[in-house]
């Protein structure tokens, strides 16, 4: 029988709080929603969810989800953690604060982080709802990357059930360490993938401005080529042409620094996470 029965969401009126609450509300868990900002409280109430006082509900909760901004996670955890019941799980949604050791510690509670992977660009989507669900958590299947370093297989399986509800529909929860999760996000997906996405948009705008190509033509050409570039690079559907590989090599020489892989040095990870959290340095 499940040990996790009661779940509280702190920051329930924020972007993630609203998304995960919408799913958790339909589950069998006893749910409590906490939100400090009046506008956030209105958003929670508008969805038919009642606002609870964290001081009253945190001590009752088997899982406390901190859906507050990363830069206040340390401070919020300092007030929440002392009120948690022994053996309960503090679940955060991004590895940065946990990696930087900003979360208040207590020996008798459990710590976990769960981050949505978002639906894959290669996902086979059938319905309009699946196509519309870019973020995940509504209709399109996604995976989740999570860390629960002290958790046994049984405890992870229990927490997986909560994670699969809050980010559902979920195909699989991948268990990694907090440091590995930080290499996934920010390093792999924000420092690289989101940067490249924004870079492609900048290149699109520059193409239109510089060459006078109609914007619709440039968009059509780019969007199709994003698809084929990903399919060839990741799925080897067919090889890039010889001429394309020469142009790609030229692009690398002009755009990518030869030592770019230093972003995988742990001291670089420390630097980017400290920047994200707006602190001087991460705590060791
Ligand atoms: N936004 C995303 O796309 C996204 C994706 C994955 C993970 N995350 C993670 O989710 C977490 C939340 O991010 P977000 O973007 O939803 O933030 P947000 O700023 O949209 O929402 C945070 C909410 O927390 C509330 N809050 C702040 N302090 C509080 C307190 N003491 N008690 C109760 N409520 C409080 C705020 O009023 C706000 O409504 C972060 O750890 C973030 O890294 C966000």
Rg (the chain; Cα; Å): 21
Question: How many structural domains are present in the chain?
Answer: 2
CA distance 89 to 64: 6
Domain termination residue (choose one: 176, 195, 229): 176
The CATH number linked to 145 is 3.40.50.720
Same domain, 70 and 128: yes
CB-ligand 1 contact for 35 (6 Å cutoff): yes
Task: Kindly report whether the peptide bond that precedes residue 79 is cis, defined as omega within 30 degrees of 0.
Answer: no
CB-ligand 1 contact for 146 (6 Å cutoff): no
Tell me the pLDDT of the chain averaged across its residues. Answer: 97
Reported as a single tens digit per residue, the pLDDT across 178-212 is 999 999 999 999 999 999 999 999 999 999 999 99
Residue 161 to residues 1, 68, 233: CA-CA distances in angstroms?
12, 22, 34
What pLDDT is recorded for position 170?
Answer: 98
Q: In terms of Cα–Cα distance, which of 85, 87, 80 is closest to 104?
A: 80
Protein residue closest via CA to atom 13 of ligand 1: 69
Same domain, 207 and 158: no
Does residue 282 belong to any structural domain of this protein? no
CB-ligand 1 contact for 182 (6 Å cutoff): no
Q: Longest Cα pair distance anywhere in the chain, in angstroms?
A: 66
CA of 206 to the centre of ligand 1 (A): 34
Does residue 212 belong to any structural domain of this protein? yes
Q: In terms of Cα–Cα distance, which of 157, 191, 207 is closest to 273?
A: 191
Same domain, 158 and 213: no
The CATH number linked to 205 is 1.10.3640.10
CB-ligand 1 contact for 70 (6 Å cutoff): yes
Same domain, 168 and 196: no
Same domain, 90 and 108: yes
Domain termination residue (choose one: 176, 193, 222): 176
CA of 69 to the centre of ligand 1 (A): 4
CB 111 within 8 A of CB 150: yes
What pLDDT is recorded for position 284?
Answer: 83
Does residue 284 belong to any structural domain of this protein? no
Q: Is 220 exposed, middle or buried (0-12, 13-18, 19+ CB in 10 A)?
A: exposed
CA of 11 to the centre of ligand 1 (A): 6
Reported as a single tens digit per residue, the pLDDT across 34-48 is 999 999 999 999 999
CB-ligand 1 contact for 93 (6 Å cutoff): yes
Same domain, 141 and 248: no
Does residue 234 belong to any structural domain of this protein? yes
CB-ligand 1 contact for 14 (6 Å cutoff): yes
Strand partners, 114: 146
Does residue 112 belong to any structural domain of this protein? yes
Does residue 205 belong to any structural domain of this protein? yes
Q: In terms of Cα–Cα distance, which of 130, 153, 156 is closest to 141?
A: 130
Q: Is the dihedral of CA 84, 85, 87, 93 positive or negative?
A: negative
CB-ligand 1 contact for 145 (6 Å cutoff): no
DSSP state, 103? Answer: S
What pLDDT is recorded for position 234?
Answer: 94
Q: What is the edge-to-edge ordering of all strands in the sheet holding 6-10?
A: 30-34, 6-10, 63-66, 89-92, 110-116, 142-147, 170-175
What pLDDT is recorded for position 238?
Answer: 83
Same domain, 123 and 154: yes
Same domain, 72 and 140: yes
CA-CA-CA-CA dihedral for 58, 59, 60, 65, to nearest 10: 30
CB-ligand 1 contact for 102 (6 Å cutoff): no
Domain termination residue (choose one: 115, 144, 176): 176
DSSP state, 183? Answer: I
Does residue 1 belong to any structural domain of this protein? no
Same domain, 148 and 190: no
Same domain, 164 and 215: no
CA distance 226 to 222: 6
pLDDT at residue 1 greater than cutoff 80: no
Range of the domain at 151: 6-176
CA of 203 to the centre of ligand 1 (A): 32
Reported as a single tens digit per residue, the pLDDT across 217-231 is 999 999 999 999 999
CA of 84 to the centre of ligand 1 (A): 20
* Average pLDDT rounded to a whole number, residues 10-31: 98
pLDDT at residue 236 greater than cutoff 90: no
Reported as a single tens digit per residue, the pLDDT across 151-182 is 999 999 999 999 999 999 999 999 999 999 99
Same domain, 26 and 79: yes
């Amino acid at each position: 029988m499940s040990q996790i029965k009661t779940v509280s969401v702190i920051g329930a009126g924020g972007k993630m709080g609203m998304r995960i609450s919408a799913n958790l509300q339909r589950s069998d868990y006893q749910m409590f929603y906490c939100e400090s900002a009046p506008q956030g409280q209105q958003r929670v109430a508008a969805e038919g969810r009642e606002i609870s006082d964290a001081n009253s509900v945190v001590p009752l909760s088997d899982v406390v989800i901190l859906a507050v901004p990363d830069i206040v996670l340390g401070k919020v955890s300092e007030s929440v953690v002392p009120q948690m019941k022994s053996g309960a799980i503090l679940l955060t949604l991004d590895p940065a604060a946990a990696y930087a050791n900003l979360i208040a510690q207590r020996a008798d509670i459990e710590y976990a982080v769960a981050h949505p992977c978002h639906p894959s660009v290669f996902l086979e989507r059938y319905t309009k709802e699946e196509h519309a669900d870019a973020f995940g958590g509504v209709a399109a299947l996604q995976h989740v990357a999570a860390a629960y370093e002290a958790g046994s297989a049984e405890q992870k399986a229990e927490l997986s059930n909560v994670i699969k509800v809050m980010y559902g529909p979920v195909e699989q929860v991948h268990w990694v360490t907090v440091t590995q999760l930080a290499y996934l996000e920010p390093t792999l997906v924000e420092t690289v993938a989101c940067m490249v996405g924004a870079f492609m948009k900048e290149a699109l705008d520059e193409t239109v401005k510089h060459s006078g190509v109609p914007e619709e033509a440039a968009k059509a050409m780019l969007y199709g080529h994003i698809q084929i570039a990903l399919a060839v690079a990741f799925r080897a559907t067919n090889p890039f042409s010889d001429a394309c590989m020469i142009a790609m090599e030229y692009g690398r020489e002009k755009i990518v620094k030869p030592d770019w892989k230093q972003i995988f040095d742990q001291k670089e990870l420390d630097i980017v996470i400290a920047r994200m959290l707006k602190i001087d340095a991460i705590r060791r």
